Amino acid sequence: MTTVAFLELSTGDKLQGHLIGAPLNTSGEMVFTTAMVGYSESLTDPSYFGQILVFAYPLIGNYGIPKQPKTSLAQELPEGYESSSIHASGVILTSDTKDISHWTGHHNLDHWLKHHHVPGLVGIDTRHLVTIIRSHGHVFGKITTAQTTNYRQLGSIQLASHTPYFDPNQRLITTEVSTPKRQRLGKGTKRIGVYDYGIKSNILRLLVERECSVIVLPAKTEPSVALSYKPDGIFFSNGPGDPEPCEYAIDAIQEFSKLKIPLFGICLGYQLMALAFGGRTKKMKFGHHGANHPVKELESGKVLITSQNHGFVVEEETLPSVLKVTHRSNFDGSLQGFKHESLPVIGFQGHPEASPGPHDLRALFDEFVGLFGGAK
């Protein structure tokens, strides 16, 4: 049986489709991704917490969902997943692909969404929806369901449900997606303290592959606790929401910078580093979300194709002179990376770990590890 469902936008637009996944109402910030593959990685990315994710590409779900091991992060980092659960509040698709066309496919998308209690809406012209989001910016949405297949009854359904529009940027949500306790990964001789603000698993995979012993730390871990592990470097992860209210993280970064320990931040972690050194951030109109964003490396002049997922940006004109700009977006010229002129500090706005996306910037992980003065 087909369940009619609706997407009601804060712009006043109302779109009709049919439900897949869990038969639940939901609300969140509307964001769209241009990635053609990697939907399981995108939906399990904690940075999408509180957002309704629109897939602009029409063929989503065609290779299924890989089997997910029932293990903790500390035991295994299964590929195809960036965390153990779906963090997006809802999913919007053009079409529903139930037939799986890949040997790794274990579930179809509908089954997987039901399992994680996440609703999805299909039958939507996502090209039109992307145009609305791009035109208005800062759009919020509600997915509401109607338990009927008789379209003639729809005139009596109240689309404006009692579900309010949820804005994840009005709440400090990094602590909600962070690990609740410290965890260890890898057995390498180089030690890295990793602050988890909503970290993607592939970041941890790449650090472990570089012969690092990783200590994953809850978001509000005191610097003294992190330093008790005698780390060679500190990493600040990606995560959802507005960076400016995360004063606990900004204070911690300032403490670490005084010790001249190597620091590396990605996405939210990069924004927090900019704030810690005196820069400012601002909300973007509709953000950068996708796996095909060109970024220019200023020193070499090379254009690198990157994975991006952020709704805030560091304002380049507010950066202190000690932070040297290293990368800019070829889409809109926005700041994408910096390094400190005298301290072992690097930051990048996009996602060099990809997953999904190209691997053009994975050398940043090598650069970070290369800053270590030798394993302890």
**Segment 184-192 mean pLDDT:** 94
Please tell me the distance from the alpha carbon of residue 157 to that of residue 191, in angstroms, as a whole number.
58
β-pairing verdict for 65-66 and 26-33: unpaired
Which of the four pLDDT bands, split at 50, 70 and 90, describes residue 73?
low
In the predicted model, is pLDDT for residue 223 greater than 80? yes
In the predicted model, is pLDDT for residue 149 greater than 90? no
Which of the four pLDDT bands, split at 50, 70 and 90, describes residue 74?
very low
| pLDDT tens digits, 82-133 | 998 999 999 999 998 888 888 888 889 999 999 999 999 999 999 999 999 9
Q: For the residues of 266-282, what is the DSSP string, one character each?
A: ETHHHHHHHHHTT--EE
Could you write out the three-class secondary structure of 80-125? CCCCCCCCCCEEECCCCCCCCCCCCEEECHHHHHHHCCCEEEECCC
* Report field, pTM of the whole predicted structure over 0.85: yes
In the predicted model, is pLDDT for residue 232 greater than 70? yes
Q: Note if 267 is an active site residue.
A: yes
State what percent of residues in the chain have pLDDT above 70: 91
Between the CA of residue 127 and those of 83, 97, 275, 288, what are the distances in Å? 29, 18, 35, 16
Architecture of domain 4-170: 3-Layer(bba) Sandwich (3.50)
In the predicted model, is pLDDT for residue 34 greater than 60? yes
Please tell me the distance from the alpha carbon of residue 52 to that of residue 30, in angstroms, as a whole number.
5
Given this model, what pLDDT does residue 157 score?
Answer: 41
Task: Kindly give, in sequence order, each residue whose CB lies less than 8 Å from that of residue 73, ignoring residues fewer than 6 positions away.
Answer: 84, 179, 183, 185, 201, 204, 216
Q: For the residues of 172-215, what is the DSSP string, one character each?
A: --HHHHS-SS-EEE---SEEEEEE-SS--HHHHHHHHHTTEEEE
DSSP helix/strand/coil, 316 = helix
- Which one is predicted more confidently, 12 or 145? 12
Helices (H), the chain: 39-43, 109-115, 126-136, 174-177, 201-209, 223-227, 247-258, 268-276, 363-370
N residues, the chain: 376
Q: Note if 353 is an active site residue.
A: yes
Given this model, what pLDDT does residue 203 score?
Answer: 96
Q: What angle do CA 195, 358, 329 make, to 5 degrees?
A: 80
| pLDDT tens digits, 260-287 | 999 999 999 999 999 999 999 999 999 9
Say which CATH superfamily domain 174-370 falls into: Class I glutamine amidotransferase (GATase) domain (3.40.50.880)
* 268-276 helix and 247-258 helix, angle to the nearest 10 degrees: 70
Given this model, what pLDDT does residue 148 score?
Answer: 44
Please tell me the distance from the alpha carbon of residue 344 to that of residue 10, in angstroms, as a whole number.
44
Given this model, what pLDDT does residue 351 score?
Answer: 97
With beta carbons less than 8 A apart as the criterion, state whether 204 and 210 touch.
no
With beta carbons less than 8 A apart as the criterion, state whether 43 and 53 touch.
yes
| pLDDT tens digits, 162-176 | 667 999 999 999 999
Which residues belong to CATH 3.40.50.880 in the chain?
174-370
Please tell me the distance from the alpha carbon of residue 30 to that of residue 189, in angstroms, as a whole number.
43
In the predicted model, is pLDDT for residue 257 greater than 60? yes
With beta carbons less than 8 A apart as the criterion, state whether 316 and 325 touch.
yes
**Segment 353-361 mean pLDDT:** 92
Given this model, what pLDDT does residue 143 score?
Answer: 94
Which of the four pLDDT bands, split at 50, 70 and 90, describes residue 80?
confident
Given this model, what pLDDT does residue 162 score?
Answer: 64
**Segment 299-312 mean pLDDT:** 97
Nearest of 307, 83, 112, 66 to residue 205 by alpha carbon: 83
Please tell me the distance from the alpha carbon of residue 335 to that of residue 349, in angstroms, as a whole number.
8
Tokens 């709704």 label which residue? 311
With beta carbons less than 8 A apart as the criterion, state whether 175 and 246 touch.
no
β-pairing verdict for 90-92 and 119-122: parallel
Given this model, what pLDDT does residue 161 score?
Answer: 54
Given 87, 267, 288, 289, the catalytic residue:
267
State what percent of residues in the chain have pLDDT above 90: 84
Which of the four pLDDT bands, split at 50, 70 and 90, describes residue 70?
low
Q: What angle do CA 83, 119, 181 make, to 5 degrees?
A: 25
Given this model, what pLDDT does residue 103 score?
Answer: 85
In the predicted model, is pLDDT for residue 237 greater than 50? yes
